[in-house]
Chains A and B, each alone.
Chain A
């Protein structure tokens, strides 16, 4: 059983650029969620993808967008990068969309660390 893999592990961008982060979900999982973890903070929910559609979004602007592919892998795209976008971006997969009442436990990847200069 393969876990969640993310790429790249580290990257540096400059303000105003665009970035694409990639995630392969755990075998058997059909749902992908993305979280942003800024330095000294806990992970914050960006959005979730299920059946190739966005299925819930946190308090992030539209320049954060995503995709999910038929094989359940996913991309996170961030346009017009700002300094505050510097963070660890975590992808998590699950079997099913609901996390209510313990319905699903997220399996996280190791993350992509983005530095915006």
Chain B
């Protein structure tokens, strides 16, 4: 049962343009969402989060938007840089001590 879904396995964007990564979820009990970034041969690293009481959270070039009615969130990266090329995972915590992760979107930023 995939409770967090990322339907785009890959995305390519030109340097300087906007990258938009999408995530859908099925469980309306989720109250917090996170994005992790993973480079090859490294563990996932925390990028940005959003509480369900907000619809937007911004941190520098990264902004996450939450649409609770649609059970959808998105990560915007503006402007995109080659160093942003990585796999991005959307995640939500549940039952107190575990995260559900999406399958990831591999972002390639073309110089």
Contact = CB atoms under 8 A, between A and B. Distances in A.
Contact of B34 (A40, A98, A105): A105
Interface residues of B, number: 28
B69 interface: no
B41 interface: yes
Nearest to B103: A42
Interface string B63-81: 0000000000000000000
B91 to A, nearest CB: 8
A90 B96 CA distance: 19
Interface in B41-57: 41-46, 49, 51
Nearest to B50: A102
B74 to A, nearest CB: 17
Given A56-B97, A97-B97, A108 B43 contact: yes
A100 B101 contact: no
A101 B49 contact: no
A43 B93 contact: no
A34 B41 CA distance: 17
B47 to A, nearest CB: 10
Interface residues of A, number: 28
Interface in B1-59: 4, 6, 9, 31-32, 34, 36, 41-46, 49, 51
Which of B43, B51, B104 has the most chain A CB atoms inside 10 A of its CB?
B43
A29 to B, nearest CB: 14
B89 A99 contact: no
Nearest to B49: A102
A4 interface: yes
Interface of B: 4, 6, 9, 31-32, 34, 36, 41-46, 49, 51, 89, 91, 93, 95-104
